[in-house]
Amino acid sequence: MRSSFLLVYFTFATSSFAADSLDAANLDAQIIDQKPIHAMGCGPIALLNAYRLGSDAWRETAQKVTATPQQGFKYFTKTYCSRFSRNSYLKRRWDEKNGIRPDDLTEAINEFHKKVKLPQVSLKRLFIKGDQSHQDLLLELHSHIKKSIKHGFPPLLSISKFSRITTLDGGHRWAETGSHFITITSIPKELAVNAQNFNFAYADPWLGKLSNTHFTISSSPFFANDITNRKDKRLHKNPTLVVPKTQFTLGTHRLSSNIAQQIAVTHLIVADSAATINIRYQSEL
């Protein structure tokens, strides 16, 4: 039953994109599969996929990183992600057990971009602010993605699974039990002001291919927090948009199937402006 549902949904999503979508510049690019490179490499690999899928200026300037997936991953993680994090005490930005946080990945990208004269990127925290509604947040998310794709840089999306786990004293608490980075490649050009969801296509480094799903507003309660927010790390009720639980595993093998869980849409890394081909670095790359 699940397979039939997914087939119907993906057929619908794909046809809607073909009709009226905003797409990454190079959808024919081969998507990098992280599994042969590193199981915890989704952040850097999502970035390499963004360069491949992006405009000519992004692709050509980033050739030093994207020469081959293995070389690109090694160069980026060793040069820019092995430094100690400013955001996590006594930890390096990326390590083999924990991967990389959205704020650390943003800083590493900006250091690389500064070297090769690419535009800076910004981290968008996709949590409800003040009296903002989930519909407002949905429109804000669409706007951020739209601008970055128009700048030639398919944005990187960070998602986190939050699960209701049993504590040692027999109680329950919500905690993050998995996270992942993907690269967004297509969205609808426009959204209705009262939209409750919207479809999107993405490059998944865990699968090494393009897939489709949708952002939506959760109909059931869950609790999540923003690990990048130094002032408020508390769990809040339904603070984000979500994506379907069946779409991403994110450590499912470690959890019982009857545990309450949601996949929260937490952070987005977007380009601040469009790139131009830098002649100085073309010969070096």
pLDDT in tens, 144-180: 999 999 999 999 999 999 999 988 888 899 999 999 9
Model confidence at 13: pLDDT above 60: no
* pLDDT value, residue 8: 35
Confidence of residue 215 (pLDDT cuts 50, 70, 90): very high
* pLDDT value, residue 257: 67
Q: How many CA atoms lie within 13 A of 171 on its CB side?
A: 3
Model confidence at 11: pLDDT above 90: no
Exposed / middle / buried, residue 9 (Cβ in 10 Å: 0-12, 13-18, 19+):
middle
Which pairing describes strands 197-204 and 172-188: parallel, antiparallel, or unpaired?
A: antiparallel
Name the token pair of 85: 């994090």
Share of the chain above pLDDT 90, in %: 77
The whole-chain average pLDDT of the chain stands at: 89
The CA dihedral of 16, 20, 24, 29, to the nearest 10 degrees, is 50
pLDDT in tens, 86-133: 998 889 999 999 999 999 999 999 999 999 999 999 999 999 999 999
* Closest to 22 (Cα-Cα) out of 197, 153, 208, 168: 153
Model confidence at 212: pLDDT above 60: yes
Stretch among 13-27, 89-103, 106-120, 257-271 having the lowest mean pLDDT: 13-27
* pLDDT value, residue 65: 72
Name the token pair of 161: 């699974």
Confidence of residue 14 (pLDDT cuts 50, 70, 90): very low
Distance of CA 175 to the CA centre of its chain: 19
Model confidence at 9: pLDDT above 70: no
Residue 106 CB partners (closer than 8 Å, separation 6+): 121, 122, 123, 269
Average pLDDT over residues 259-279: 92
